[in-house]
Homo-oligomer: A and B are copies of this chain.
Amino acid sequence: MAGVSTPALAAAVSQAGGLGSIGVGAAGATVAHEMICQVRQQTGAPFNVNLFVHKTPEVDPVCDKAWLAWLKPLFTEFNAVPPARLHPIYRSFNDDPEMLDMLVHVKPPVVSFHFGLPVAEKISVLKATGAILLATVTSLEEACVAEAAGMDAIVAQGIEAGGHRGIFDPAGRDDALGTFALTRILVRKCRIPVIAAGGIMDAAGIAAALALGAVAAQMGTAFILCPETDADESYRKVLKGPAAFHTRMTDLVSGRPARCLANRFTGLGDSAGIPPLPDYPIAYDAGKALNKAARNCGESGFGAYWAGQGAPLARAMPVDQLMGKLKDELQEARSFGM
């Protein structure tokens, strides 16, 4: 949930007894440090710091140029010109020694990885801080790699999940496993604990995840409408409307497959002759620039409105109220004998 998650959101979730998560994948070490400090100012409870561990992007100016040329008519529609060049706007944790140093210094209680795993040395260094380490996986194969690398638990990310798919190799085969099958396969075949993610929006979903043998449920979309997030008004409006029933997995926005509410940008996926995409997050530089140009003309259809398939069940209320509801509902579900 980098993009809309805030220290206030993470702190409120942790304060209410969950494990709040602060996504720092899109931030540098300095900003990440500030965010972590803000969480700690608001709660003494444990929290999680989520990092992006994507493959180092290959800079390919010819590819970037072709991609920008393809997007050019859209920039023109919004009276803008494409950027002259594209840049890898975030660093992978594997390429970011300052981030590791900062984490060793601030010692967050839980650290989670998305898009892959850090190199063995970084894992050892983080483990030595006492951090519990989690990794998002989308298949049994990735789960086995995470287990062997020393992760303490794995997040089974079903195809329903909103935002970026955590698949390690975006060019590899994706069996697109749903939360139901993936969670159950990992619980049956792995030795480390499994946390279920994707399509879980309420206590019934949490109870279902636990019934599948998961030790916990990870929820993102369920919190987007909370006032504590950074989601802007048009994001909230679209999420509350009929579009919530139509999410789509697309790599056009960022260069990596991610699930968001279907809009004009995702609709480009039906176009013929889409050129090869610049690597994540280079493509995202173009996606953000196009969204900015469109927004300047009052067109919000190029925003990355990340959302999972459970989007129609999102509830707009402060985090403490939502967490209270989830706890009450779960208590009720359990006393009912399920």
Contact = CB atoms under 8 A, between A and B. Distances in A.
Size class of the contact patch on chain A? 35 or more
Interface stretch (A44-52, A208-216, A228-236, A273-281): A208-216
Contact of A140 (B189, B198, B207, B245): B245
Interface stretch (A9-17, A88-96, A173-181): A173-181
A312 B177 CA distance: 12
Interface string A188-207: 11000000001111101101
A139 to B, nearest CB: 7
A204 B184 contact: yes
A300 interface: no
A209 B183 CA distance: 13
Nearest to A187: B204
A310 B180 contact: yes
A334 interface: yes
A309 B178 contact: yes
A245 B208 contact: no
A158 B180 contact: yes
Nearest to A309: B181
A123 interface: no
A182 B199 CA distance: 9
Given A180-B310, A245-B140, A204 B213 contact: yes
A15 to B, nearest CB: 26
A134 to B, nearest CB: 20
Nearest to A161: B178
Interface string A155-188: 0001110000000000001011111111011011
A84 interface: no
A204 B212 CA distance: 5
24 contacts: A140-B245, A140-B312, A158-B180, A159-B178, A160-B177, A160-B178, A160-B181, A173-B246, A175-B245, A175-B247, A178-B198, A178-B199, A180-B200, A184-B199, A184-B204, A184-B310, A185-B310, A185-B312, A185-B313, A189-B312, A205-B212, A207-B212, A208-B208, A210-B338
Interface of A: 139-141, 158-160, 173, 175-182, 184-185, 187-189, 198-202, 204-205, 207-213, 245-247, 308-310, 312-313, 333-334, 337-338
Shortest beta-carbon contacts, A-B, top 5: A181-B199, A180-B199, A181-B309, A178-B178, A207-B211
